[in-house]
């Protein structure tokens, strides 16, 4: 399961604006190679969307079936925010939707779609985020 935790406005190369949803996985414990101690972290990824800003706001906190996985990519430079250090990376984190087997009797997909439709409908009717129970 992943959760929508933020959204960001971006621009295409042609200058057209759009929004991406920032998703985050559950907590993971990772062993530090420097200290030998465990620390808590979570994977994050971005998903492009066709939603307007109000819809993105309404979706914050929504859980979606699936996970975030590491995928190899062409090398690119990344600046570490905390230190300003520029490092070379050869991977990205991407959203992997949950795949239900065709023989499965229960479907999380239907639950997610119904929850999403309810949230959007509530937002559309009230047009006030504060009135929604997220």
**Rounded percentage of the chain residues whose pLDDT exceeds 90:** 66
Give the position of tokens 């905390």. 82
For residue 2, count other CB atoms closer than 10 A to its CB. 25
Q: How does pLDDT run across 33-47, given as a tens digit for each residue?
A: 889 999 999 999 999
Q: Label residue 14 left, alpha or beta by phi (over 0 means left) and psi (-120 to 50 means alpha).
A: alpha
Residue ranges per domain, the chain?
2-131
Q: With bands split at pLDDT 50, 70 and 90, how would you rate the model's confidence at 134?
A: very low
Q: How does pLDDT run across 76-113, given as a tens digit for each residue?
A: 999 988 889 999 999 999 999 988 755 544 555 555 55
Instruction: Outline where 37-107 has alpha helix (H).
Output: 53-59
For residue 19, count other CB atoms closer than 10 A to its CB. 20
Give the position of tokens 């465990």. 38
**How much is the pLDDT for 39?**
93
């Amino acid at each position: 399961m992943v959760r929508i935790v933020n959204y960001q406005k971006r621009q295409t190369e042609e200058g057209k604006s759009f929004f991406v949803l920032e998703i985050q996985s559950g907590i993971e414990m990772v062993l530090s190679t420097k200290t030998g101690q465990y620390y808590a972290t979570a994977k994050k990824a971005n998903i492009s969307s066709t939603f307007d800003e109000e819809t993105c706001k309404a979706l914050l906190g929504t859980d979606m079936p699936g996970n975030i996985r590491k995928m190899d990519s062409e090398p690119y430079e990344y600046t570490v925010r905390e230190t300003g250090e520029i490092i070379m990376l050869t991977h990205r984190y991407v959203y992997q939707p949950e795949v239900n087997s065709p023989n499965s009797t229960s479907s999380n997909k239907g639950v997610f779609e119904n929850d999403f439709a309810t949230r959007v409908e509530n937002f559309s009717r009230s047009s006030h985020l504060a009135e929604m129970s997220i």
